[in-house]
Structure 1
Amino acid sequence: MANILEPEYQNSVPPSIIVFDLNDDSIVRRYELPQDQFVQNKSLFANIAIEDNDCSRIFAYLADISSPGLVVYSWKDNDSWLVNHNYFNIDPLAGEFNVSGIVFHWSDGIFGMGLSEIKPDGSSDLYFHPMTSTDEFVVSTKFLKDKALSQKSNGEFRHLGSRGPKGQSSVSFLDKKTGVLFYALINLNAIACWKTTNPRYTMQSQGRVYMSNVTMVFPSDIKVDSDDNMWVLSNRLPTFMYKGFNASEVNFRLLTAPVKDAINGTACDAKGIVTPEMKAKMKNHLDSINPPKSTPKAGQSGSEGINSRLNAVLILLAVLNLLMMH
């Protein structure tokens, strides 16, 4: 097995997708990537996202962080293709990291990925970011799953926004039930979140789930299970790489929390977000309780001001009512 921590490591076998049957640990399928979809002795596939709503049409998305690209694999066709885009590349201004006082420079491309709930047309939204970046992006899998179309980018990729200073992120995972995207902030030893129904991706619209300079040093994986529990693995990798491994210390930790508790009180809590659907409900609600304005009669000056204040009160009450029902 190649040692990826060595500067001149060698790939002994081509990168492969291996599918196991967890009932008996047998290998169901092994698929080797074609040579034109990776760079020998350079490519590093550090993350994979699976779109598996239909067993006959499963797709896998493999992120190559060292030769930034996205390999799309079709289970049905047992075929794969490489997708390239500038958004997979690093931001050179975000290359300096500081994890618990250890300063280093990395150049890792597309890393974190999270798939949304399936849409009526059978596609999902793939949220992604390079590790050496503070920005988040999204693209529809409808585009990625079309082998021919995916080679002709025409505005399908969108830039959502920035996580702000020290906002470099490694892994991410999207909880389909809540629509919340969880991601690791490796410089801050923290897990953060953003609700995908929020129309804005800003520092203000993102929430801080958990932060610890002891237990959350370099969070390296995030998952949400079928019981709505979030799991986070931290492994202190920069400490191991640049200062050495101390077996007398706790280096690996597995932390968990119910999703509802993790996002409670954050910007990702559904009660704190007015989505487009809620705006439509508010409009319908206001239309039903706010009668059309009548033409003011002579001598009734000031009534417009009273009506405006009354409308403002009605709007506020409607908003509060809908937020409580959401």
Structure 2
Amino acid sequence: MANSAKQVSAPALIVFELQNNTVVNRFVLPDDVLRDTSVFTSIVVDIIGKGCKDAYAYITDMGSNAIVVYSLTDNTAWRIEHPHFNFDPNAGIYKVGGIDFYWNDGVSSAALSRPKKDGYRDLYLHPTSSTKQFKMSTKLLRNKNAAPEDIIEGVEVVGDRGPKSQATACDFDLTTNVLFFTQVSKNGFGCWNVERPFIKEFTPIVMKDCSLMEFPNDIKVDHEGNLWVLSDRQARFLYEAMDFNQVNFRVLTAPIAQVIQGTPCEKNKSNFCFFKRMKIK
């Protein structure tokens, strides 16, 4: 199964022109941003201004605990490392689908916020084997020559999701200002409105189901206000326990407005006050 995978070409970024189905650019990642253990799991595109001429890609390297930044304008890439990109040994224990395993996966997913007053965005990110959420400004990411001390100080701890809350993926809805994230060990996914504190009361599990959502591996927001979740029972696949007579792969979708309705992620001041009062009690 998973042990039979082979790499057939070097990692590369490919830019397509969708209107005429042509390749605009193909950039092979250079050796200086790669490591022997590199595993690229997520890519976020940051377009500056109108058009696509000035754009950046932020790529999470889960295998070697780094973010690779690519500049389309300069057609070059560089590597950013930080201790927060590493896994947390205390969050490496999983039990999903009745299978116990230990993972030491580093930073695996990232999502961009709305533009801030200074014109830059926050990149929200987290390692898979961690329960913490982090962020850093794209102002720092775009600076190829950023000083090491600026990198160290520039990655902030947003908060902690709590025990057994490892997340493989996240995505951001610009309309509602809500970050969605998978909850692998809980067979579900959660949400957080970034205008509120990153604490248990405001980071609820929105949906969980041990059958439909066993190993929620990816989560995406589209441009039409829908949330998409992929569950694939990856633990069974990796450890040769998958029953192919069952449904193992599912793609689930729902309107975001319905998903967060009545939760502290909803942009509703009355909900915010209600949950705040609950905390005081």
Same fold (TM over 0.5): yes
Partner of 1:296: none
| Counterpart pick for 1:260 among 240, 257, 260 | 257
1:162-194 deviation per Cα after TM superposition (whole angstroms, max 9, x unaligned): 111111111000101111000000000011001
Maintained 8 Å contact 1:208/1:266: no
Q: Is the 8 A contact 1:143 1:150 kept in 2?
A: no
| Deviations, residues 291-310 of structure 1 (Å, cap 9, x unaligned) | xxxxxxxxxxxxxxxxxxxx
Which is higher, the Rg of structure 1 or of structure 2?
1
Pairing partner for 2:89 from 76, 87, 92: 92
Pairs aligned (count): 269
Task: Tell me what 2:173 maps to.
Answer: 175
Match of 1:222 in 2: 219
Partner Cα separation in structure 2 for residue 73 and residue 66 of structure 1: 18
**Hey, what's the Cα distance between the residues in 2 that align with 1:251 and 1:59?**
35
Aligned residue in 2 for 1:26:
22
The alpha-carbon deviation at position 56 of structure 1 amounts to 2.4
Question: Is the counterpart of residue 66 in structure 1 residue 63 in structure 2?
Answer: yes
What is the CA-CA distance between 1:142 and the residue it aligns to? 0.6
Letter in 2 for 1:158: E
Give the Cα separation in 2 of the matches to 1:238 and 1:22.
35
Relative to its length, the structure with more strand (as a share) is 2
Q: Distance in 2 between matches of 1:145 and 1:12?
A: 30
Unaligned runs of at least 5 residues, structure 1: 275-315, 317-326
User: Partner of 1:16 in structure 2?
Assistant: 12
Q: TM-score, normalised by structure 2?
A: 0.90
Contact 2:69 2:80 (8 Å CA) reproduced: yes
Conserved? CA contact 1:179–1:195, under 8 Å: yes
Higher relative contact order (CA 8 A, sep 6+): 2
Q: In the alignment, is the contact (CA less than 8 A) between 1:95 and 1:107 conserved in 2? A: yes
- Asked if 1:49 is matched to 2:44, the reply is yes
Give the unaligned 5+ runs of structure 2: none
**Aligned letter for 1:273?**
F
The one of 126, 134, 140 aligned to 2:137: 140
1-side partners of 2:241 and 2:18: how far apart? 35
Give me the whole-angstrom Cα distance separating, in 1, the residues matched to 2:148 and 2:104.
Answer: 25
- In 2, the alpha carbon distance for the partners of 1:14 and 1:144 equals 24
Aligned to 1:78: 75
Once the 2 structures are TM-superposed, how far is the Cα of residue 150 of structure 1 from its aligned partner? 5.8
Q: Percent identity?
A: 37
Residues 255-304 of structure 1 show CA distances to partners (whole Å, capped at 9, x for unaligned) of 11111110011121121236xxxxxxxxxxxxxxxxxxxxxxxxxxxxxx
- The CA deviation at 1:241 is 1.4
> Aligned Cα RMSD in Å?
1.9
Give 1:101's aligned residue.
Answer: 98
